[in-house]
Structure 1
Amino acid sequence: MRVTDEISGPVRTFVAVGDSFTEGLADDPGDGVYRGWADLVARRLAAIEPELAYANLAVRGKLMGQIAADQLDIAANMRPDLATLAGGLNDAMRPSCDVDAVCAQLEHCVQVLSEASRTLVMFRAIDFTKRMPSAKRFQTKANQINAFIDQMAEKYGAVVVDLHSLRALDDPRMWASDRIHMTHEGHRRVAEAVLEALGHQPTFDWRAPLPPAPKPLPGAKTLSDLRWLVAFLLPWIKRRLTGKSSGDGALPKRPELTRVV
């Protein structure tokens, strides 16, 4: 993980750009609005700087090109002290993914946001293969995007949070029933990783594994796999075949800079 030497001045404005990872799926506090790591980072920063204004433009299901088209200019015009950018996994999961095109879109986003913000944070995407061996079919593309993110961080002076090497996220309990979005505990650890990368003292050991899990009942994994197949995998395949996205019609949860309460 590359960590900033020192943040110059207080963070009074923070804008988050990306897809479901940044929107906060599936960290549901029960009020119908997903929370997620970016909200947790904003709350911690607001405790330091009460005037902090925060916007979250991320929308689930968005590809890198859509992030660039729909969110980039809005974020740049906010001229934030802190910006975060995460995307590319939705592209990598598609068989037709053109990695070179995704990287070109990514560099455009990095260039614009690094010029518009004082600090830009990016992520080396999570390694799904330890928990889901079937993910190997798209992990190669994700790894290429990760390597490009490292290059962009070096070129534009961005901060990189390395989630790819965070082995605590291999634990299935960090993940919701759809197996691709984190629970609150997963988001809590990502938030702590971001804050540490920004130079803040961590409040707990976010790298530590969870306590050992109870031994599962016989047949529990098979039943879980069947439920996942019916409830999540088949609908995902249907959306790919019909050209639809989980983010169709969805709007950002915090489209404008507003104070964090």
Structure 2
Amino acid sequence: MTVTEPVRSGKYLRYVALGDSQTEGVGDGDDIVGLRGWADRLAEHLTIDNPDLQYANLAVRGRRAGEVRSEQLGPALALRPDVATVVAGVNDLLRLRVETSTVADHLEAMFAALTGSGARVATVTFPDLTRIIPLARPVRSRILDINDRIRAAAARHGVAVAEIARHPSVADRRFWSEDRLHCSPLGHQLIAAAVAHALQVPGSDDSWNEPPPPLPSPPSTQWRATTELRWAATFLRPWLGRRLRGQSSGDQRTAKHPRLHRIEGPRS
């Protein structure tokens, strides 16, 4: 299989993001004021060296890897991106049954198609969710396996990999929103910086991988227990309910930026 030689730097005119809720930006803003998210933040960073950059975000929350491939890859290729990001698979891993090899096959097909079209492509590895959600322990082996498969597929196609899984503080609650499945604004900022560094975007560096300042003293056992109960009632129960009903948070939703558009430079 032909490996596309990575582009170390250069001018980008069209950036297209494919994925699910993380790429859509859930956790960074809301549906009333608007979502930002790591892909928007990366696009803003890219404008520093590429002021004419146009950006499209095709991601939709709740989508599995196969759905991202079937729904987003064709439109992405039609936009002729010279840089693209593909981040999907977590929604597959959280299902009762999943074949990680099938998930990886969908990701690799997208890597191959996009790099084959001439785009520079980046992806990420997934953090161990069990460090944030202890109840998710059954999926830990899936996360480790899919990360290995992502690394191997990326190497075959010259895809840049941001190693979010290896960040020293992925269990830091400051990086996560209240639902613990989506990043907080700080977490989205970290991913954007990590992907920019993986792409070797001018002005990026490895400072994203440094641990944050230490947290205050651990809260009491009673506080933690109360927090866990509140989280289960507020987020876990509705999530399980949707699964039992065969519903998705992305039902009836479409991409927030399906067409290329100009964006402003970095914001605070």
Question: Smaller-chain TM-score range?
Answer: over 0.9
What is the CA-CA distance between 1:47 and the residue it aligns to? 2.1
C-alpha distance after superposition, 1:50-105 (max 9, x if no partner): 11000000011101111011101000111111000001111011111122322222
Task: Give the SS at the match of 1:170.
Answer: coil
What is the CA-CA distance between 1:203 and the residue it aligns to? 6.6
- Alignment-derived partner of residue 212 in structure 2: 210
CA distance in structure 1 between the partners assigned to 2:107 and 2:31 by the alignment: 34
Q: What aligned pairs does 1:106-121 form with structure 2 within 5 A after superposition?
A: 106-121=107-122
- Alignment-derived partner of residue 189 in structure 2: 188
C-alpha distance after superposition, 1:9-50 (max 9, x if no partner): 301110000001111110017952111111111111112211
Q: Alignment identity in percent?
A: 36
1:248 aligns with 2:264: no
Aligned AA (1:40):
R
TM-score, normalisation: structure 2: 0.90
CA distance in structure 1 between the partners assigned to 2:84 and 2:241 by the alignment: 34
**Root mean square deviation of aligned Cα:** 1.9
Unaligned 5+ segments in structure 2 are 1-5
The answer to whether the Cα contact below 8 Å between 1:55 and 1:258 also exists between their aligned partners in 2 is: yes
Which consecutive aligned stretches of 4+ in structure 1 deviate over 4 angstroms post-superposition? Answer: none
What is the CA-CA distance between 1:246 and the residue it aligns to? 0.5
Q: What aligned pairs does 1:38-57 form with structure 2 within 5 A after superposition?
A: 38-57=39-58
1:224 aligns with 2:242: no
Aligned pair in 2 of structure 1 residues 211, 239: CA closer, same or farther (>3 Å)?
same
The answer to whether the Cα contact below 8 Å between 1:83 and 1:117 also exists between their aligned partners in 2 is: no
TM-score, normalisation: structure 1: 0.92
CA distance in structure 1 between the partners assigned to 2:261 and 2:118 by the alignment: 17
CA distance in structure 1 between the partners assigned to 2:245 and 2:171 by the alignment: 31
- Alignment-derived partner of residue 138 in structure 2: 137
- Alignment-derived partner of residue 258 in structure 1: 261
What is the CA-CA distance between 1:218 and the residue it aligns to? 5.8
- Alignment-derived partner of residue 199 in structure 2: 198
C-alpha distance after superposition, 1:174-219 (max 9, x if no partner): 1111011111111111111111112133378222223222332562
Unaligned 5+ segments in structure 1 are none
The total of aligned residue pairs comes to: 258
The answer to whether the Cα contact below 8 Å between 2:124 and 2:195 also exists between their aligned partners in 1 is: no
Aligned pair in 2 of structure 1 residues 113, 170: CA closer, same or farther (>3 Å)?
same
Task: Give the SS at the match of 1:129.
Answer: helix
Aligned AA (2:153):
M
CA distance in structure 1 between the partners assigned to 2:76 and 2:123 by the alignment: 15
CA distance in structure 2 between the partners assigned to 1:131 and 1:167 by the alignment: 13
